[in-house]
C-alpha cells in the first residue's frame, strides 16, 4: 500500500487510538477512576485473573486489604 499512496501523492494517515478510560470519559461523561462515594481519584494497582465470583465474594476482606488470596 505505501507504493500506491506514493504514486497517488497521498500521505498515510495513522489511525488515532483511544483507551477505554478516554472513551468512557468522552462518551458517558464519567471518569472510570473517580470514586462514586467520595469523589477522589482511584489508582489501578493490579488485576486478579482467574477467580470466579464465589471466590471473590468469599475473599472480599483479603482483596480490600490487598492481601494475596
pLDDT at residue 1 greater than cutoff 80:
no
pLDDT digits (tens, 9 = 90+) for 4-57: 888 888 888 888 888 888 888 888 888 888 888 888 998 888 776 777 888 878
Cα three-residue angle 39-53-31, rounded to 5 degrees: 20
Q: Which residues neighbour 44 within 8 Å (Cβ) at sequence distance 6 or greater? A: 33
Maximum Cα–Cα distance across the chain:
63
Closest CA to 35 of 27, 44, 26: 44
* Backbone phi and psi for residue 34, each to the nearest 5 degrees, phi listed first: -105, 130
**Number of C-alpha atoms within 13 angstroms, CB side, residue 23?**
5
Amino acid at each position: 500500500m505505501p507504493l500506491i499512496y506514493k504514486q497517488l501523492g497521498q500521505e498515510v494517515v495513522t489511525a488515532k487510538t483511544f483507551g477505554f478510560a478516554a472513551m468512557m470519559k468522552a462518551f458517558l461523561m464519567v471518569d472510570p477512576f473517580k470514586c462514586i462515594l467520595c469523589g477522589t481519584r482511584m489508582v489501578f494497582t493490579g488485576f486478579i485473573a482467574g477467580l470466579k465470583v464465589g471466590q471473590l465474594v468469599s475473599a472480599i476482606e483479603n482483596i480490600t486489604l490487598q492481601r494475596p488470596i
